[in-house]
Amino acid sequence: MQQPVYFLSHGGGPWPWLDGPFRDGFAWLEASLKALPAQLPARPRAVLVVSGHWEEPGFTVSTAAQPGMVYDYYGFPEHTYHIRYPAPGAPDLAEEVVRLGAAAGIAIGRDPARGFDHGTFSMLQPIWPEADIPVLSLSLRADYDVPAHLALGRALAPLREQGVLIVGSGFSYHNLRQFGAGAAAPSAAFDAWLRHTLLDLAPEARADALLTWDQAPGARACHPREDHLIPLMVAIGAAGADPATCIYSQSDLRGGVTASSYRFGPDTTPSGFDRIGQALAEA
């Protein structure tokens, strides 16, 4: 049974392992992630994560049978540098990823040492805390070339029929120097553009619009580096003609940021974790 595709905002650092205001700020996001398994047609065979926290000169897939951890954050409590997300890897599936890439003329390298970064484990912890579904990671290409990432997603789309859940893990807003009230206007403007592009445009038109994403309102204020947006391009490529649903959105994240997550699949039933949509409906 074909799996949907997701672009998920994954939150900040190791937030699922924290307590207090920082963790509480992601409560709405956490609820949306916990609701994700119920949106799937079946339990995934594996999860393929394209994380905004892994980039290489060329596309690269993790091949470890038991991936380690990559603590790619700083300034958090000591215990967060010892946490584990012990999901198994998927070496056989990694070889299928390499094969599909080659068939499309896309070279994909192998990395037997790459572990789970926080764009992977912090996002997956609320979804599958049991860590019992195989997970493999796929890097971005460091040039952030949009057509190349769209093409990669198209090449990997057959994995969906094999029960593999493809997830682009990033953040629809990612400017670490500007959170809070100063982010309110640009993040709302960019989020509105992204929502229109993904939900209202035909599949070919939405892909075309994403080629010039940096011309959208607030684009560079939200993404001075587009590492957290580029996973969306892989998701869009893998989604094909499937419609999009906004499964999470809020306008008060970290004191004023608007951020969203999207599902691509034939079932467009809203998830109920869309504060913006609720506000529009009530207006």
pLDDT tens across 115-135, in order? 999 999 999 999 999 999 999
> CA–CA separation, 63 vs 46, rounded Å?
13
β-bridge mates for residue 263, sequence order = 6, 245
Phi then psi dihedrals of residue 241, to 5 deg:
-95, 5
CB neighbour class for 129 (10 Å; exposed up to 12, middle 13-18, buried from 19):
exposed
Phi then psi dihedrals of residue 40, to 5 deg:
-90, 150
Q: Read off the pLDDT band of 269 (50, 70, 90).
A: low
Residue 67 vs residue 277, higher pLDDT: 67
Total count of domains within the chain: 1
Q: What percent of the chain has pLDDT over 70?
A: 93
Provide the token pair at 61. 């897939």
Q: Are 136 and 111 in contact (CB under 8 A)?
A: no
Determine the structural domain holding residue 42 and report its residue range: 5-282
- The predicted model gives 240-260 an average pLDDT of 88
pLDDT tens across 159-214, in order? 999 999 999 999 887 776 667 667 778 899 999 999 999 999 999 999 999 999 99
Q: Read off the pLDDT band of 11 (50, 70, 90).
A: confident
Cα radius of gyration rounded to whole Å, the chain:
17
What percent of the residues of the chain are helix, what percent strand, and what percent coil, each to the nearest 5?
45, 20, 35
Q: Are 22 and 15 in contact (CB under 8 A)?
A: yes
pLDDT tens across 39-49, in order? 999 999 999 99
Quote the pLDDT of residue 149: 98
Q: Are 109 and 153 in contact (CB under 8 A)?
A: no
Q: Identify the CATH number of the domain in which residue 68 sits.
A: 3.40.830.10
Q: Read off the pLDDT band of 274 (50, 70, 90).
A: low
* Mean of all residue pLDDT scores within the chain: 92
